[in-house]
Structures are given as C-alpha cells and as structure tokens.
Amino acid sequence: MVRVRETAWTPAERTAPDCDPAERASALAGLMRGRRTVIVTGAGISTPSGIPDYRGPDSPGRTPMTYQQFVGDPGFRRHYWARNHLGWRHMEAARPNAAHLLLADWERRGLVSGVITQNVDLLHLKAGSRRIVDLHGTYAVVTCLGCGARRSRRSLHEDLEALNPDFAERVASRGAIEVAPDADAVLDDTADFRMVDCPGCAGMLKPDIVYFGENVPAARVQEANALVDESDVVVVVGSSLTVRSGYRFVRRAVTTGKPVAILNRGRTRAHDEATLTIDGDCVEVLGLTDAALPDPV
C-alpha cells in the first residue's frame, strides 16, 4: 500500500515559461522517438477542460478533507456531500481537451504504452485512451465502507436530489458557484443537507477517490509499476509531483536508468532528477511535440 500523507495544497513555485516551446517540444519528441513511453498526468492537463488544479502558480491555497475527517466527523461528511452534490455535475459535463485527445491518439499509434493519472475526472477515458491507471480512483463511483457495495455516482445523485429538493437551485440563487477540484464545489451553508447511507447495510458511503491519509490500493500501484517497467521513457504532464503516490513512479524510472521528461507550469518535486523539463502549456507543447514525431503508418 502507498499512504498519501500530505495534508495541505500549496501553489507551485512560479517559474518563467520556456522562451522557445518549439525547441523544447522537439527535444521531447527526440526523447520519445523509437522508445516506449508511459505518461503520468496530473491536474494541470485538465485545466483547459475547466477543472481547476491544485498547485498551479495561480491556484488558491487549499486544505483538502482528509480520510480521517470524512469517516470520523458527520459534520465534515455532510459538508463534503453537499459540495459534491453540486461539483460532480461540473466534472460529469467536462470534456477532454486537445492534450487528452493527443495522448489517446499516441496510444493508438503505438507511441504511448499507457497513462497513469492522478486525476479522478475520467477525461482520459472520454478521450479514447485505453490503458489507464486511475491511481486515485474516479468521481463516478461510490463505495460503501461497510459492505463494500459499489454504485454509480449518478444513481446516488437521484437519491440525494430526492432528499434535498431545490438545494442546488437555492444555492445557485445566491450567485456563481466556485468549482473546486475532485468533483467538489466551494460552499459554506451546508448544515441542512441530508446524506444517504448504503441501501444494503446502512453503512457509510464514500466516493471511490483516494483521500489524504488513505491508502492507494496495492493493485493500482502494481499496475502502474508494470507500465513503468514495460516502458523506456516516463513523461510527466501537468503535475507538480508533490504527492508521493505520483512521484514514486519518477523515482522508479530514475533508479533504473530510464529518462524522465516533465512538462508542467511551475517547478516540480522531481525537477532536479529529470532528463528534460519543460515549463509551458500542456496543449501547446504536446501539439508541437506531435508535429515533431513520426507520422502514423
């Protein structure tokens, strides 16, 4: 198991974007050419799709809810579900951007062996990627902590809507709702929100998302390790790598002598270990990289 220990989001150190993204993209293409590449993605790849990131240089400081808070305090849990009742709709409606679509195309062309993502937004799946490790789970599934039963977030929405009629409309009437990461929304007045328990055992329901203080399932880690081991190059896209559960794959590559490239806005935890670093926009740089890669056969 891998335990997520960090408990606070802090924005990444701002750095100057590369003055010649085409040159850096060409270097990335050279690193990938003729090699099997695995992609590790973070929140930065999904910001063009309207999903905020955690640690971009312009992101607000956030203190995420921990697993211990969620399971140990009904007030925290109610607050979360009220926010999620609104925020998950935004994530459900989000669509892949050009970066997601390009990575899916690279997989079809045999340039990429798979994607390890720290995101829970399912945008790689929506884009057409097939070999995906959703390291931190996804927003679309809910699990009972009592009996282990799983159900879709959409079906839970219907139950929450019945228990909380007009809640969304009442909140929306107060002004624009700020969407937060992980199918969340920024709300204050949630005291009257009613939660739903497992229909089978009356146990506690939780999104199938790895919270801080919770373990990443061993099977997911093993699958991600296998992708890294099968590949020749690791390319990180849109992640500061602050969370150990993502950074560990860079460490695995570095310790086995595999090159690592990092494309991100701002400095990352692994900058000093990378073969190539690119400070730039994910969509722009990946597009330029694609232009420098071999044409599909």
Strand stretches in the chain, DSSP E: 2-3, 37-41, 112-117, 132-134, 137-144, 150-152, 178-180, 184-186, 205-209, 215-216, 233-237, 260-264, 276-279
| Domain assignment of residue 44, given as a range | 2-292
Torsional sign, CA 81, 87, 92, 98: negative
Residue 103 lies in a domain: yes
> In whole angstroms, how far apart are CA 293 and each of 23, 27, 191, 195?
13, 10, 54, 51
Q: Which of 79, 90, 124, 136 is catalytic?
A: 136
Q: What is the pLDDT of residues 148-199, one digit of tens each?
A: 999 999 999 999 999 999 887 877 665 445 565 565 656 566 778 999 999 9
Q: What is the pLDDT of residues 192-245, one digit of tens each?
A: 899 999 999 999 999 999 988 888 999 999 999 999 999 999 999 999 998 888
Q: How many domains does the chain have?
A: 1
Q: What is the CATH number of the domain that holds 278?
A: 3.40.50.1220
Give the residue, 18 or 117, on which the prediction is more confident: 117
The C-alpha angle 118, 124, 128, rounded to 5 degrees, equals: 155
User: Would the annotation count 198 as a binding residue?
Assistant: yes
Q: What is the pLDDT of residues 39-72, one digit of tens each?
A: 999 999 999 999 987 655 555 555 677 899 999 9
**Contact yes or no for 227/113 (Cβ under 8 A):** yes
Residue 107 lies in a domain: yes
User: Would the annotation count 144 as a binding residue?
Assistant: yes
Verify whether residue 85 is a known catalytic residue.
Answer: no
Residue 297 lies in a domain: no
Residue 111 lies in a domain: yes
pTM of the full structure: 0.88
- Kindly state the greatest CA–CA separation across the chain: 59
